[in-house]
Amino acid sequence: MRRKLSTLLLTLFFLFSFTITSFAENADLPHIYGKTAIVIDVQTGEIIYSKDIDESPMYPASTTKLLTALLLAENKTKTDAILYTENAKKQDQYSLYKNLLIGKINIGDTMTADDVMKALLIYSANDSAYMIADSVGGNPKSFADMMNARIKKLGLKNSHFVTANGLDSNIPDHYTSAYDLSVIAREAYKNPWVKEVMQTKKTRIETSKGVIAYIENRNKLVGKKIDTAYADKIGINLNQLPASNAVCIGGKTGYTSKAGRCLVTFFEKDGRVLAGVVMKSIYDAKDSYVFNDMSKIINWSYAAERTPLYKANTEVKNITVKYKPLKFIGPEKEVTIPLVLKKDVTYYENDINKKELTTDLNISDINISKLSKDISVGKLVVKEREATKTYDLYPTLSSTDIRKQNTLLYIVTGVGIVAVILILLLLVKLISNKGSRRRRNRRRRF
């Protein structure tokens, strides 16, 4: 009985210990309702926060319009006239024709490309996406081909787009993943025109017939700062992290019944821009879940600390170099040269980087005579998915150190050279003396 009781207590102890350990390891990760999510550094492409980022198919809904906007920006100018077409008129709710310019825009009317871009990204007009599809691609099918070619160019493997606006009713093969969508969003953000429009909070658009409409960004985070007051107001648990004070500078919303609530955002703090993606979150009457999800993971990501991969002054590799201490003559020797870093190599520890992060060494040809502890002799290359960073490698030995290692050889060689010179001089003198005697002997005979 005692043995059974001891076994039970021991089992409970281990289970409790495991639970506590697991909780401690994940205590600082924010709880979100979105099924998948990611935060990346826009400049470097580094993945900071990750939640099932490769799960596919995930349905992007109107966040699709970021790719549509990018293709518009890459193929048209702001002043180009974009025709309102029959394909545009057929589109569903949240459109210019059915919701905003009811009865005031018709087939054959035009808008400037800039106003179409605003209708697309700010109001999220579904018909404006097909104005773009017909104008840029010639027809919706050709435009979808352009979309998928652009996706392929970005190296994405978990995406396939069919519609220009993201509507997915009875369309099973319009899909992406949180990771792929973050790459598309990052590429769109790099375009100055797309970037300018997505961060606009309020503006006006106008048709060729002079009909004007005022629109407001449906991304409720635009212009918002994640400070303590904002966190308290919407009830975000910051998990005891300080409020980041990052400001939302753009993004795109999305929703269909199949996709759930989706959101792409860009935040900026002290010049550092992070992009976030949340997919298949909850859409309720207040429409708050996805925005809260985003605020949590962005705030967490600004506070996330890097994990050391190599510390500064750590020996990364020892290389063996063959050389001749006397350069052109004498024996060949080998020297082992430790290579070190002069600054920390760090990364964001998450499930993706733990599995995929790789390092590589690129060592240049080493000239022993010019070796210096302050001159790099190679690179350590750290690769993630979208991010590649290089770090200089420095030798811990200099040419002076190597010369010191060969002091005895140099002394022996020097003594040998002196000895050879003395012998040669002695031989020269002997030969000279012998020649002088011969000349004297000849004079005596005559």
Give the per-residue pLDDT at 434. Answer: 73
pLDDT > 70: percent of the chain: 87
Whether pLDDT at 14 is above 50 = no
Whether pLDDT at 19 is above 50 = no
Give the per-residue pLDDT at 3. Answer: 42
Question: Is the distance from CB of 174 to CB of 129 less than 8 angstroms?
Answer: no
Whether pLDDT at 130 is above 50 = yes
Average model confidence (pLDDT) for the chain?
A: 88
**Mean pLDDT value of segment 299-307:** 94
Give the per-residue pLDDT at 242. Answer: 84
* Model pLDDT for residues 24-52, shown as the tens digit of each residue: 333 478 889 999 999 999 999 999 999 99
Give the per-residue pLDDT at 428. Answer: 81
Whether pLDDT at 93 is above 90 = no
pTM: 0.84
* Model pLDDT for residues 175-212, shown as the tens digit of each residue: 999 999 999 999 999 999 999 999 999 999 999 999 99
Give the per-residue pLDDT at 268. Answer: 98
Place of tokens 């420095």: 394
Greater confidence (337 vs 438) lies with 337
Give the per-residue pLDDT at 289. Answer: 95
Whether pLDDT at 296 is above 70 = yes
Give the per-residue pLDDT at 445. Answer: 59
Q: Report domain 31-303's class.
A: alpha beta
Give the per-residue pLDDT at 415. Answer: 75
* Model pLDDT for residues 220-239, shown as the tens digit of each residue: 999 999 999 988 877 666 56
Contacts of 74 (CB under 8 A, 6+ apart): 191
Whether pLDDT at 402 is above 60 = yes
List C-alpha distances in Å: 381 to 41, 86, 329, 392.
Answer: 18, 53, 37, 9
Whether pLDDT at 113 is above 50 = yes
* Model pLDDT for residues 246-274, shown as the tens digit of each residue: 999 999 999 999 999 999 999 999 999 99
Give the per-residue pLDDT at 332. Answer: 76
At 292, give phi and psi (nearest 5°): -65, -45
* Residue extents of the structural domains in the chain: 31-303, 309-405
pLDDT class of 323 with cuts at 50, 70, 90: confident
- Mean pLDDT lowest among 43-47, 123-127, 424-428: 424-428
Cα–Cα distance measured from residue 179 to residue 37, given in angstroms and rounded to the nearest whole number = 8
Give the per-residue pLDDT at 92. Answer: 86
* Model pLDDT for residues 339-358, shown as the tens digit of each residue: 999 999 999 999 999 999 99
Give the per-residue pLDDT at 18. Answer: 33
Give the per-residue pLDDT at 95. Answer: 96
Q: Please name which of 342, 392, 407, 397 lies closest in space to residue 367, comparing C-alpha atoms.
A: 397
Cα–Cα distance measured from residue 63 to residue 6, given in angstroms and rounded to the nearest whole number = 57
Give the per-residue pLDDT at 412. Answer: 66
CATH code linked to domain 309-405: 2.60.410
Q: Please name which of 49, 51, 352, 71 lies closest in space to residue 187, comparing C-alpha atoms.
A: 71
pLDDT class of 418 with cuts at 50, 70, 90: confident
Give the per-residue pLDDT at 143. Answer: 98
Greater confidence (353 vs 327) lies with 353
Whether pLDDT at 328 is above 90 = no
